[in-house]
Amino acid sequence: MTEAPETTPSRRALIGWGGAGLALGAVAAGGAVAMARTGDDVVPAAAGTGAAIPFHGERQAGIATPVQDRLHFAAFDVKTDDRAEFVQLLKDWTAAARRMTAGQSVGEGAYGGLAEAPPDDTGEALGLKPSRLTLTFGFGPSLFEKYGEAFGIADARPEALAELPKFAGDNLDKNRSGGDLCVQACADDPQVAVHAIRNLARIGMGKVVIRWSQLGFGKTSSTTPEEQTPRNLMGFKDGTRNIAGTETDRLEKFVWVGEKDGPAWMAGGSYLVARRIRMHIETWDRTSLQEQEDIFGRDKGEGAPVGKAKERDEPFLKAMLPDAHVRLAHPDSNDGATILRRGYSFTDGTDGLGRLDAGLFFLAYQRDPRTGFIRIQRNLALDALNEYIQHVGSALFAVPPGVRDKDDWWGRTLFGKEA
Ligand code: HEM
């Protein structure tokens, strides 16, 4: 982090940024989308070198962009019914997000300002690189329920933003579920992600309050199939058949909300389902290798589907047991339903009974949750994996399109017009 004044360098000019499509093309061409700050200049740099991911674009970063290693996810509840105050918060958050994703401090920085006032930035990210920080913002169904009238947005609620239904086996903790707003902070450095959420919460004091939050380490899915597939806490490769960030056609079909889908303010956005899934790690660790492999329908070493040799070989579903996870989750078993998974492992200490409170913080983006997550999760009612997992937290958010330039702000397509 530097204390340089905000210069908002034009990344569009520098790399010909024209939205996610181009940026993703750049990733495919060698990771040129990532940028590193040196003083006030922005120069292209390879991913994984502490670089910055462009904040401005047609789509929000943090969905199809390469998945970083660390997560801090926060759900907020809104505490003001004053529309103007809330809109100002969205603008203030955007300004702070723009700076933090570029590796800059919030506002006037962490020191050097008025001695009598608390600094604008909390300071713990000073000296750290941008670390590919992405901040992805969304609105929850409860925002429309609680503040639809006060904010003049009641009629703008998307039909797709209905509360998720109850699924077989759910054991949801309301203190880890829901939320009027969300911010997903992903970065290669956990301190950079935590700093971002903390500073947004600080800026929102009195107007929003954190309802719940989740730290994640170790991505369990990726959008970059050319890299090694990460493994989840059950030891299996996870994300093999995920949508890649370069698959523009599949992203259009399954992830981005289309112009005609409605409402207009969501065009170019996506819907995010978050599920905190606890794993019964200790029971899993006493399960035979054969059973573990049967449960997923893939082998543990290579990650190949049953009867096949290589991880990327096309799964032959009928060779798997009827209740194998991959067989039940596959698009062919769900009328073609396909989602972009972007989850992380978590370990939040122990549960007081000598067991790890660990699992998968499942994050999935889709064009419509009714034909995405809900469709698949219903089919997973019979999943053999259910004996070893339990869904304990749940939330759904409408993630609007990207912040296009320095005058744009999170939620402008919803709140930009006078109520
Ligand atoms: C702790 C819970 C879970 C674990 C450990 C887990 C693990 C895995 C693993 C190891 C694979 C195979 C590799 C791959 O293609 O990614 C897989 C595939 C998949 N999972 Fe999960 N998963 C979990 C929960 C879920 C949930 C809740 C959903 C959605 C409702 C889901 C949807 C999928 C899909 C769509 C695939 C790809 C199927 C295919 O196209 O072959 N998973 N999962």
Query: For 9-53, how does the pLDDT look when each residue is reduced to its tens digit (9 = 90+)?
Result: 332 233 322 333 333 333 333 333 333 333 333 333 345 568 999
* Inter-CA distances, 281 with 214, 277, 286, 345, 355, Å: 19, 12, 9, 12, 8
Return d(Cα 155, Cα 17) in angstroms, integer: 34
Contact criterion met (CB below 8 Å) for 358 and 284: no
Angle, in degrees to the nearest 10, between helices 83-101 and 190-203: 160
Contact criterion met (CB below 8 Å) for 341 and 363: yes
Ligand 1 centroid distance, CA of 304 (Å): 14
Residue nearest ligand 1's atom 11 by CA:
238
DSSP state of 298: B
What stretches in the chain show pLDDT beneath 70? 1-49, 418-419
* Inter-CA distances, 315 with 179, 240, 310, Å: 37, 11, 10
Return d(Cα 338, Cα 9) in angstroms, integer: 37
Substitution site in 238, 250, 320, 361 for ligand 1 pocket (most atoms within 8 Å of beta carbon) = 238
Token reading at 330: 């596959």
Can you count the helices (H) and strands (E) in the chain? Answer: 11, 11
Q: What pLDDT shows up at residue 20?
A: 36
Token reading at 409: 């702000």
3-class secondary structure, 185: strand
Residue nearest ligand 1's atom 12 by CA:
238
Q: What pLDDT shows up at residue 120?
A: 96
**Total residues found in the chain within this entry:** 419
Ligand 1 centroid distance, CA of 210 (Å): 29
Substitution site in 236, 277, 316, 326 for ligand 1 pocket (most atoms within 8 Å of beta carbon) = 326
Residue nearest ligand 1's atom 34 by CA:
329
Other Cβ atoms less than 10 A from the Cβ of 224: the count is 19
Reference 279, options 389, 391, 172, 381; nearest CA is 389
Residue nearest ligand 1's atom 36 by CA:
329
DSSP state of 14: H
Q: What pLDDT shows up at residue 221?
A: 86
pTM over 0.95: no
Helix or strand (DSSP H, E) at 37: strand 35-38
3-class secondary structure, 345: strand
DSSP of 240-270, one letter per residue?
TTPPPTT-HHHHHHHTSPPTTTS-GGGTT-E
Q: What pLDDT shows up at residue 7?
A: 38
Return d(Cα 90, Cα 77) in angstroms, integer: 14
Residue nearest ligand 1's atom 27 by CA:
377
Half-sphere exposure of 16 (CA within 13 A, CB side): 6
Return d(Cα 90, Cα 94) in angstroms, integer: 6
Ligand 1 centroid distance, CA of 325 (Å): 7
What residues contact 129, with CB distance under 8 A and at least 6 apart?
36, 37, 49, 50, 51, 103, 189, 192
Q: What pLDDT shows up at residue 50?
A: 82
Substitution site in 229, 325, 373 for ligand 1 pocket (most atoms within 8 Å of beta carbon) = 325
On the 0-12 / 13-18 / 19+ scale of CB atoms within 10 A, 280 is middle
Residue nearest ligand 1's atom 18 by CA:
326
| Amino acid present at 409 | W
Contact criterion met (CB below 8 Å) for 253 and 367: yes
DSSP of 74-127, one letter per residue?
EEEEE----HHHHHHHHHHHHHHHHHHHTTBPSTT-SSSS-TTS--SS--TTTT
Ligand 1 contacts (CB < 6 A) are 232, 234, 236-242, 275, 277, 279, 296, 298, 315, 325-326, 329-331, 339, 359-360, 362, 373, 376-377, 380, 389
Return d(Cα 413, Cα 409) in angstroms, integer: 9
Residue nearest ligand 1's atom 24 by CA:
362
Ligand 1 centroid distance, CA of 326 (Å): 6
Q: Which atom of ligand 1 is nearest to the CA of 239?
A: 16
